[in-house]
Structure 1
């Protein structure tokens, strides 16, 4: 069952969630309708790799839960939503503050609803570029989300 939580509460909880807190990841915004989020990662001594750029695990972690949570909250309680797969491509060394933006539009939600209307599962890929302060992409993260309508409960059970 999808947890009902306000976007502002989700933002506050994620900002103290240990995998984000200890990596230096900050959730800056989550829109009230769960259609947009912005996450930043500032470079510190504790999230640098051996050559002094952003640690790849931190870059990946900053994108991890958002597509699943946003899709789950936008579709509502009648759907099962899970992360299914993920991949990351490192494009250039990340330095300084980097950011990721997530935008879930109505057309995507309608495609998911149509694909799952008959009870079938649907696998949807989302792409998220992680950009530096100059707007250059330092990494490209792809997440695959599994979505299926919940089976109706038997009224006689």
Structure 2
């Protein structure tokens, strides 16, 4: 209903807005990170040096926030990557389908070909379709980008864990 109201159907914003506006966990995570890991003295020193709020945020706080930004980015990325239901609800254009939607569509097409009228029309070729191995191949395709991206972001997670352990 809100996608019609704001004309977001078949746009990327229909997938982005619910995650950012309706996800309190990420907001609490970032808030608690800034409260515990950014000293107030550092902000006061920047103000005494003549920095305005914009400069303090982008030149002082944001460089210190790379662990929490990487964490929230990874959580959000994994949520989008594994989510095919929201795409099913909000996206009708096949050109905008996500990877998970495409993988589900491939599996559905294989199941359709193996059942009923389609199998009778095509004949013995469909009976030999290896559905289990296709599912496993699609699972590998689905997880491969995550396996590539996670090691690149892992140093930020470790830095965040070390900061939390030291500050305790």
**TM-score, normalising length from structure 2?**
0.29
Q: Which has the higher strand share?
A: 1
Larger radius of gyration: 2
Structure with the bigger RCO (C-alpha within 8 Å, sep 6+) is 2
Q: Which has the higher helix share?
A: 2
**TM-score, normalising length from structure 1?**
0.30
